[in-house]
Amino acid sequence: MSLLTKGVSKLSGLEVDVDKDWLGHLIKNLGDPLEDGDALRKQDAVLKSLFTQAGQIIYASAPGTPAALAPDTGDKFLKAGMPPSWAAIPAGGFWEKVAEVILTSNQNTIEVTGLSSAYEVLWVVLMSSWTHGTDVILRFNNDSGPNYDYSRYLFSSVYGLSAYDNASQITLAGPGGEGLVFYQLHGFIFQRLWNWRKTFAFTWYHSNSANGSNSFHIYQGYWNNTTSKITGIRFYVSANYFDAQARLVVLGAK
């Protein structure tokens, strides 16, 4: 349709016949924008000026100001910041293996020592089985003083909560009875400041083949040492033993 037949010189001068439902149809034949000042051409020019190589990422360097981050090579992750940047993944990943012990014979103690104080978070995993379901004692740096405050939450056929203040150890409850017992512990120790108490959160699960006892515990609390970080983690039993192949692994994040 020619604008001349309607006596107007621009689209805004046309009247739309609503009864013919012209508003329900898209205008598809306008063609490409012709002038550099047209909005679509300006937008296209801005984007093309940013995209100078494959793999770029667009971000805002300021309100209303687009910018591009060039791609990088190797195994990198995008680090937040202004501007954002590519950062190398730490050797071994974010978690580094700090220590590991696997028993080669039956022992009443399994522990790691000489841990670096550079780690702000420790991830502790213990897996073991042995006969007789006795309690397991946990201590940090082999400290037997009244420096452990914690709560124990029991999830079994019944729910239970026990609180311990100024204890000389963390007592991981055993299921009792004879038979083969499987134990599993994992959790975290947070120690960003050496002059502040070290907090921990562990899950503790055990299963006894003799009496069918299966219990799940959560231990939360802190170690009231304000002069050093944790450099040793020790599990031991006063009676019986950990079986050969018991495994203790500690990972760390700096």
Q: Which domains does the chain have, with CATH numbers?
A: 59-89 (no CATH), 96-253 (2.60.120)
User: What is this structure's pTM?
Assistant: 0.63
| 89: DSSP letter | P
Tens digits of residue pLDDT in 134-162: 789 999 999 999 999 999 998 876 788 99
CA geometry: angle 77, 79, 82, nearest 5 deg = 150
**DSSP state letters, 53-76:** STT-EEEEEETTEEEEEPP--SSE
Residue 49 has pLDDT above 80, yes or no: no
Q: Are 198 and 223 in contact (CB under 8 A)?
A: yes
CA–CA distance, 183 with 82 (Å, rounded to integer): 47
Is 240's pLDDT higher than 60?
yes
Tell me what the mean pLDDT of segment 109-113 comes to: 96
Q: In the structure, what pLDDT confidence band is assigned to residue 105 with cuts at 50, 70 and 90?
A: very high
Residue 3: the pLDDT is 47
